[in-house]
Structure 1
Amino acid sequence: MDRAEKQELVSTLNDTFKSTGVVVVAHYAGLSVSDMTTLRGKMKEAGAQVKVAKNRLAKIALEGTDLAHMTSLFEGQTLIAYSDDPVAAPKVATEYAKTKDKLVVLGGGMGQTALDADGVKALASLPSLDELRAKIVGMVQTPASRIAQVVQAPGGQVARVIQAYADKGEAA
């Protein structure tokens, strides 16, 4: 990698660190190429991304961002998982780490908040933004459907009474 490529990578990482919702740092030593491909696929499905970068370049990219507190995590073979949704990357990384011993979550950051491994696991246990939105929509729709049922109920009862009289009249 020449100097221009390094500068481009640092610039890209810096933009990512400034604009992303959450970043997770993990050791990946010993993961096979197929394991990494699987991890990347799962991250992509969840709306997150994984990047492997040299620690020195990642530390330079962290300078001047809210995530500058994470520089101590970049030791050894590390990867960066990030997403705009504050739950997506931690959730996928934590679940994948349960199945693969070689992936070890070190910590991360969400804005100016530093996260240790337990903090990332706690964040992963929260529902995602889409799940929360679905719950809110369900909560909003439930009262509306109940109101519609209540409004329709008297009309339905009147119709049943009229139908009963009509049936009674035909029987007589």
Structure 2
Amino acid sequence: MKKNYREVKEARVQEIKEKMEKAQGVILAKYQGLTVEEDTKLRKELRDAGVEYKVYKNTLALRAAKELGFDQLEDYFIGPISIAFGYEDPTAPARILNDFSKDHKVLELKAGIVQGEIFDENKVKELATVPPKEVLIAKLLGSFKAPLSNFVYALNAIEEKQKSEEA
């Protein structure tokens, strides 16, 4: 029986480790004090954004983090900790958890791993202010389009002026 329990723990550590490796953004948060309704609402928001939200035993999650070389996270695995894994957008878990924590003070951002770099609470909150990737791409495309549009308007104005002088 004891051997089987150990195998289950090892499999769970491997599962957490794989999720941490696959995710572009991993955010740790203290969730104790949320009501069932609040937790359900948070989970729905995260799920809608493509973020996986889990609660694991701290010892298992910490072991997985240490196996990946994130020993500095040990100080953050104190008390009940949830983990949000963002696979598509590295800023999504931080943004959603930070926004939710503004109305639900019991939810506290603790730390994160974003593209292999460890972020403390303050860096996670800064990361939360970064717009989604789609918004950043739209802004970039808009900044490319503006000078071209102005150039086209200038060419049209020159053409119109030449036509009016000819007439």
What range describes the TM-score normalised by the shorter chain of this pair?
0.7 to 0.9
Q: Residues 51 and 93 of structure 2 are in contact (CA less than 8 Å); yes or no, is this contact kept in structure 1?
A: yes
CA distance in 2, matches of 1:54, 1:158: 76
* Identical-residue share of aligned pairs (%): 27
The AA in structure 2 aligned to 1:89 is P
Q: After superposition, what is the alpha-carbon deviation per residue over 1:76-104, rounded to whole angstroms, capped at 9, x for unaligned?
A: 11100121423211111111111112211
2:113 paired with 1:130: no
Deviation at 1:158, TM superposition (A): 4.9
Q: 1:121 aligns with which of 122, 125, 133?
A: 125
Q: Note the 1:51-70 alignment, pairs <5 A.
A: 51-70=54-73
2:129 paired with 1:151: no
Deviation at 1:141, TM superposition (A): 1.0
Deviation at 1:34, TM superposition (A): 1.8
Report what 2:49 is aligned to. Answer: 46
TM-score (norm 2): 0.82
Q: 1:103 aligns with which of 101, 107, 112?
A: 107
Q: After superposition, what is the alpha-carbon deviation per residue over 1:20-57, rounded to whole angstroms, capped at 9, x for unaligned?
A: 22221111112122211211122233332211111121
The AA in structure 2 aligned to 1:76 is G
CA RMSD, 1 decimal:
2.5
Deviation at 1:160, TM superposition (A): 5.5
SS at match of 1:107: strand
CA distance in 2, matches of 1:144, 1:111: 35
SS at match of 1:90: helix
CA distance in 1, matches of 2:36, 2:10: 26
Q: After superposition, what is the alpha-carbon deviation per residue over 1:127-148, rounded to whole angstroms, capped at 9, x for unaligned?
A: 3322221111101111221222
TM-score (norm 1): 0.80
Q: Residues 66 and 112 of structure 1 are in contact (CA less than 8 Å); yes or no, is this contact kept in structure 2?
A: no
Deviation at 1:116, TM superposition (A): 2.0
User: Highest Rg: 1 or 2?
Assistant: 1
Q: How many pairs align? A: 163
Runs ≥4 in structure 1, deviation > 6 angstroms? none
The AA in structure 2 aligned to 1:100 is H
Q: Residues 94 and 105 of structure 1 are in contact (CA less than 8 Å); yes or no, is this contact kept in structure 2?
A: yes
> Could you list the runs of 5+ residues in structure 2 that have no partner in the other structure?
none
Q: Residues 105 and 117 of structure 1 are in contact (CA less than 8 Å); yes or no, is this contact kept in structure 2?
A: yes
> Could you list the runs of 5+ residues in structure 1 that have no partner in the other structure?
166-172
CA distance in 1, matches of 2:69, 2:129: 24
CA distance in 1, matches of 2:86, 2:162: 56
